[in-house]
Amino acid sequence: MNRKVLTLVLIRKLNEVLLGYKKRGFGVNKWNGFGGKVEAKEGIYEAAARELREECGLVVLPVNLEKIGLINFEFVGDPLILEVHVFTSTKYEGHPFETEEMLPKWFHVTDIPFDDMWVDDKLWFPLFLSGKKFKGYFLFQGHDVILKHNLENITCF
């Protein structure tokens, strides 16, 4: 099995979460956190901070990122496993702006646009929103159907 390591950053303030509308590439036309591939010789915290800055202009120090999730995604017929490290932070600088990849928008925690997000998000976002940490696995058929999954609440990474 090949593995691709990715990051996903969910910025919070009070009762809001910052999401970005993906304008191109993998996950196009979905709202998601900010993130992408971890480059060679880059740590995952540094990669998460870099992707956040590249995709919406917000600056967060790697030390101010809290790892809250680890999710492995597998797609039927594809030997590549996506290993996604999920982070959150309330300590950031700057104001989010649109980039060629993402259109950022704040959403109230009671108004997360699950119908226009990856279908797995509906299952693990409640853990994130209630301050819990988690590990999960999702087997997808295509990009819209989950054939199998497991999700566990953990105490620390």
Ligand X SMILES: Nc1ncnc2c1[nH]c(=O)n2[C@H]1C[C@H](O)[C@@H](COP(=O)(O)OP(=O)(O)OP(=O)(O)O)O1
Q: Which residues bind ligand X (CB under 6 A)?
A: 6-8, 25-27, 32, 35-37, 73, 82, 84, 118, 120-121
- Closer CB to ligand X, 14 or 77, in the complex: 77
Paired tokens of 12: 């919070």
- Closer CB to ligand X, 50 or 109, in the complex: 50
**Shortest Å, Cβ 154 to ligand X:** 18
Query: How many residues does this entry show for the chain?
Result: 157
Point out which residues pair with 103 in neighbouring strands.
21
**Shortest Å, Cβ 61 to ligand X:** 19
- Closer CB to ligand X, 109 or 149, in the complex: 149
Cα→Cα distances 73→142, 148, 152, Å? 12, 10, 15
**Shortest Å, Cβ 95 to ligand X:** 21
CB count in 10 Å sphere of residue 66: 15
- Closer CB to ligand X, 114 or 157, in the complex: 114
**Shortest Å, Cβ 15 to ligand X:** 21
Backbone φ and ψ for 101, nearest 5 degrees, come out as -105, -35
* Cα–Cα distance for residue pair 14/24, rounded to 1 Å: 29
